[in-house]
Structures are given as structure tokens and as C-alpha cells.
């Protein structure tokens, strides 16, 4: 017999806010084909935060931008399925896509100066955003803009409403950008390294703020970062990307305790070996794969201390280790080897 709670739990499990299946993104130009994303699948539940982590060039930003179809269509081939809040993103026309961007889905990028227009005050921009996505009076929009600035803990919000972006510190601008992103009451926040341009103390404050807002507003967050420390601060789950694929995924605590993919293990070790918060991950021997000439097998095999001939032959299947912990590595079924790697 099923109880109402079971039904509720089932409905939650059955209806992720963001759902991606076998996403592939290929860029062409200059006689080359760059396979930046090669079969990414992920689900984010309502109110859940997922961090995408991995080295530079692993396809984190391309994946995030693809969710909103932000890549120039002429040079980009996109395949796979993307559903956000029930909408089939791949099938949306330009107007519906525009409504989704900045409406249901808010985006925050690394450099707030790029998102904030220098010739308008912060208040004008937030009010404009509110009025684009909701039919409210000018005074109601102003009230909401004030509340948005208050919600990101900006001191003297009245005064900040009249400030231009260049009149604010980096941390304040980042908060103003988050306020702008949240002013249209989104359900999903896509954030691409929103804190790496900030100094360490401000970074932590902004991360804590994002976490609080996520809890208050029940936001689903997909958060891109190089920084495992930032992922720990924000994420419920982590997806580790390498060569445009998710090689391991699971609850953050599980990955910290029991990572199974040699790449994840190397990534965690590179952090333990003195990597400070905010620094780029550079300490894994070897170089990232050439996305214009991907090998047929596991993309990490050429750098993997445990690689065998089978790893070079075909892309490893994904093993489900339970509790949302999945890993794409043939070693996953051999705990002794995985433990030796750790
Ligand atoms: N518009 C484009 N045209 C061609 N190649 C691209 C384009 N955008 C990204 N790439 C390539 O796709 C790969 C993945 O890039 P992406 O920006 O997703 O990496 P990333 O994981 O976000 O790295 P970083 O941590 O440095 O931000 C890179 O090799 C990049 O050069
Ligand atoms: Mg990036």
C-alpha cells in the first residue's frame, strides 16, 4: 500500500526541476570539430544544488550555457534532451526561450561587470528586469527591487538602488548581480564560477548567501566551480566532469569520503596537497584530452595510473553504486583497485 508521503516522494523523484539526457555539444569552425560535451545526463530536484567540478576545459561552462541554448546556433550542434520546469528547452521558440531566461531560470556569471550595464543604476536594472517578467506598477517594482537588495544583505539598500555598478565594491556588485538574477523569482539558478573573481573572505560570504537564498526560496542550483571547497559550501551533489563527460557523481560527502574514479581521486588529492581555496587545479600529471580528436575509450585513460587495454577500447559504462553515487570507470566493480588508487 502506498501512503500520501510515498506518493509525494515519488512525485518529487519523478519530476526533477532540471533534467538533461545525453547532451552533446559540438563546435565547428576553422576546419575543426570540437566535441566539448559528450553525453552528459543529470537531474536536479526542486531545491537541490548540484556542483559541476573539473579541470579547465572539461566542459563545465559549455554544459551550463547549453542548458539555456546560449551557444551561437550557426557554429554549434546540440543534441540530447533538456527539460527545465517541464519545458522542452530544445523545442522552444525564440520568444519562449527569452521568457525562460531571466524568468524561470536566472543566470549568474563570473564577472558582474559583464552582467550589469554601466550606464544604468543598479535600481533601474533590477526594476526593468522585474517589469519585463511581471506586470506590476513602477512603485511595486521599486518595492520589489528594494526587497531583492535586502535579500542579498546589501547594507543601505535605498542608497544602493541609486548607485551605478562602478560605484560598488566587487563583493557588492556580485550581490547586486545575484539580486538582479533573483528579482524575477526564478526557480532555477545557473551560476558559473560566481565567486572566483572575489577575494577569499568575500567569496565565502557570497557562497553562504547563495546557500541561504537557496534554502529560503527553494531554488534549484547548478553551480560550476574549479574549487572543491566552494562545492562543499554550496552543493548537495557533485558531478565531476572530464573531457565533456560526467565521470563520477554523488552526494558531496560520499565523494569526499569514497570517491571511486581515479580522476576524482586525483582531483581531491591535488586539493589536499596544499591547494588553497580559489586556486586553479593544475597538479594532475599529463594534459587534458584534445577535444578535436577524442580517443575511443575512457578520456582519462592516457593520464590514469590504473589504465588497462580495455580502458582504451570503449567508453566505460556507468556503474550505479547506490544512493545517487555513479561512476564511469571499469575499476568501479573492483573495490580493491579503487581503494589502492585512493
Ligand atoms: N564557442 C566555442 N567554440 C569552440 N570551442 C569552444 C567554444 N566554447 C568552448 N569551447 C571549448 O570547449 C571546451 C570546454 O570549454 P568550457 O568553457 O566548458 O570549459 P570549462 O570546464 O568551463 O573550463 P574553465 O574551468 O577553464 O572555465 C574547451 O576546450 C573550450 O576551448
Ligand atoms: Mg568555465
> Tens digit of pLDDT for each residue in 302-315?
999 899 999 999 99
> Does an H or E element contain 100, and which?
helix 94-100
The answer to whether the CB of 35 is under 6 A from ligand 1 is no
Q: Distance between CA 243 and CA 58 in Å, rounded? A: 5
Q: Which ligand is nearest to the CA of 280?
A: 1
Q: How many angstroms separate the alpha carbon of residue 291 from the centre of ligand 1?
A: 10
Looking at the DSSP assignment, which residues form a beta bridge with residue 82? 20
Closest C-alpha to ligand 1, atom 28: 57
Hey, what's the cell of 188?
A: 532555477
Which ligand 1 atom sits closest to the C-alpha of 59? 18
Instruction: Write down the pTM of the prediction.
Output: 0.87
- Residue environment code for 298-316, b if the CB has 16+ CB neighbours within 10 A, otherwise e: bbbbebbebbeeebeeebb
Domains defined for the chain, CATH in brackets: 46-66+94-104+190-274+281-341 (3.40.50.300), 113-185 (no CATH)
Q: Which ligand is nearest to the CA of 72?
A: 1
Determine the pLDDT at residue 274: 45
Q: How many angstroms separate the alpha carbon of residue 303 from the centre of ligand 1?
A: 20
Q: Distance between CA 72 and CA 297 in Å, rounded? A: 29
The answer to whether the CB of 169 is under 6 A from ligand 1 is no
DSSP assigned state of 185: -
Is the Cβ–Cβ distance between 170 and 197 less than 8 Å? yes
Looking at the DSSP assignment, which residues form a beta bridge with residue 241? 246
pLDDT tens digits, the chain, 342 residues: what are they?
Answer: 444 444 445 444 558 999 999 999 999 988 899 999 999 999 999 999 999 999 889 999 999 999 999 999 999 999 999 999 999 999 999 999 988 987 899 988 777 666 788 999 999 999 998 898 888 999 999 999 998 898 888 889 999 999 999 999 888 888 888 888 888 889 999 999 887 777 777 778 888 888 888 888 899 999 998 888 888 888 999 999 999 999 999 999 999 999 999 999 988 887 654 445 555 544 678 888 999 999 899 999 999 989 999 999 999 999 999 999 999 999 887 755 555 555
Q: Burial, 285: exposed, middle or buried (Cβ in 10 Å; 0-12, 13-18, 19+)?
A: exposed
- For 7, 115, 287, the CA distances from 202, given in Å and listed in that order, are 42, 19, 32
Transcribe 244-295 into DSSP letters: TEEEEEEEHHHHHHH--SHHHHHHHHHHHTTPPTTPPP--SSS----TTS--
The answer to whether the CB of 60 is under 6 A from ligand 1 is yes
Amino acid at each position: 500500500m502506498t501512503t500520501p508521503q510515498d506518493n509525494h516522494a515519488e512525485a518529487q523523484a519523478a519530476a526533477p526541476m532540471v533534467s538533461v539526457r545525453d547532451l552533446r555539444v559540438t563546435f565547428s569552425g576553422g576546419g575543426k570539430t570540437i566535441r566539448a560535451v559528450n553525453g552528459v545526463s543529470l537531474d536536479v530536484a526542486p531545491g537541490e544544488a548540484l556542483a559541476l567540478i573539473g579541470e579547465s576545459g572539461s566542459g563545465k561552462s559549455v554544459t551550463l550555457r547549453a542548458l539555456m541554448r546560449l551557444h551561437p546556433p550557426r557554429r554549434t550542434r546540440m543534441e540530447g534532451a533538456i527539460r527545465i520546469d517541464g519545458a522542452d528547452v530544445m523545442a522552444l521558440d525564440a520568444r519562449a526561450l527569452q521568457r525562460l531566461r531571466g524568468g524561470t531560470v536566472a543566470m549568474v556569471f563570473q564577472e558582474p561587470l559583464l552582467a550589469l550595464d554601466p550606464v544604468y543604476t543598479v535600481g533601474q536594472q533590477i526594476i526593468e528586469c522585474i517589469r519585463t517578467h511581471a506586470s506590476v506598477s513602477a512603485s511595486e517594482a521599486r518595492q520589489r527591487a528594494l526587497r531583492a537588495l535586502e535579500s542579498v544583505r546589501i547594507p543601505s539598500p535605498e542608497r544602493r538602488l541609486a548607485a551605478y555598478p562602478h560605484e560598488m565594491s566587487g563583493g557588492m556588485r556580485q550581490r547586486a548581480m545575484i539580486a538582479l538574477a533573483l528579482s524575477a523569482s526564478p526557480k532555477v539558478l545557473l551560476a558559473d564560477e560566481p565567486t572566483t573573481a572575489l577575494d577569499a573572505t568575500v567569496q565565502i560570504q557570497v557562497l553562504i548567501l547563495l546557500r541561504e537564498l537557496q534554502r529560503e526560496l527553494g531554488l534549484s542550483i547548478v553551480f560550476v566551480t574549479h574549487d572543491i571547497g566552494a562545492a562543499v559550501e554550496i552543493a548537495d551533489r557533485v558531478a565531476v566532469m572530464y573531457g565533456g563527460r560526467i565521470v563520477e557523481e554523488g552526494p558531496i560527502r560520499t565523494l569526499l569520503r569514497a570517491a571511486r574514479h581515479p580522476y576524482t581521486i586525483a582531483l581531491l588529492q591535488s586539493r589536499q596537497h596544499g591547494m588553497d581555496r580559489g586556486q586553479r587545479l593544475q597538479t594532475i600529471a599529463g594534459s587534458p584530452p584534445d577535444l578535436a580528436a577524442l580517443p575511443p575509450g575512457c578520456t582519462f585513460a592516457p593520464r590514469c595510473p590504473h589504465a588497462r587495454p580495455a580502458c582504451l577500447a570503449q567508453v566505460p559504462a556507468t556503474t550505479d553504486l547506490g544512493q545517487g553515487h555513479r561512476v564511469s570507470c571499469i575499476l568501479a566493480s573492483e573495490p580493491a583497485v579503487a581503494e589502492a588508487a585512493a
